[in-house]
Amino acid sequence: MRSRGKSLKAKDGKLPFCAMGVSSVIHPKNPHVPTMHFNYRYFEIEEADGTKQWWFGGGTDLTPTYLNEEDAIHFHKTLKEACDKHDLKLYPKYKKWCDDYFYIKHRGERRGIGGIFFDDVDSPSKEEVFQFVKSCAKAVVPCYVPIVKRHCHDSFTPEEKLWQQLRRGRYVEFNLVYDRGTKFGLLTPGSRIESILMSLPLTARWEYMHTPPESSREAEILEVLRNPKDWVH
């Protein structure tokens, strides 16, 4: 937290904190139904002099195996509507933050097609930020469930299933190498390791130097992951 610019005064090396949140990851079996992740959380720190610092964080993002523009537009528009209820500046700011955060640096690509992400939000007031976070949380079902219903009965080939497994390998790479939540959980004394690693898919795959054919649907999703799009304009 200090590495993000927070000034936190400990007493005798101790810094009492309270952390709470809700987190969910869905990894569907069908490669035409995208993976979805959301997490909304609240932190409170008590400093040496008894003063408290608080902030909210979280976000919702989508990781499809294959690109479906209709799904991407629906997902982002629903999140934008939730943000716009509070401030028109929030969606573009948090959309970019999401694209920047879920970036697999060693691959030069994003984990998925984004959504919204924010952290350290402590203004204008606790109640106003809480109302915003609740709006975001309430948008999870309408932004994702229609996509599931649209594709849950789609047929798929062994080759499409293989590509899904390769993409899930990328998901694992991001979560184990870069994700702050995973690192925070693993460094927290007495934490439940299985809960921290719950974001990982049941199965994943790696292939050495795998590159999909040009102009394929696999190459299409890679292009978007390397160059994020504006889905709502």
Q: What residues are labeled active site?
A: 37
Q: Quick check: helix, strand or coil at residue 226?
A: helix
Record the tokens describing residue 112, joined without a space.
Answer: 């998925």
* Cβ count within 10 A of residue 118: 22
CA distances 22 to 38, 56, 189, 195, Å, are: 8, 12, 20, 12
Query: Cα torsion at 71, 75, 80, 81 (round to 10°)?
Result: 100
SS3 64: coil
Residue type, 77: K
Strand 52-63 vs strand 17-26: parallel, antiparallel, or unpaired?
Answer: unpaired
Residue (of 70, 89, 114, 125) closest to 227 by Cα position = 114
Cα–Cα distance, 105 to 225 (Å, whole number): 12
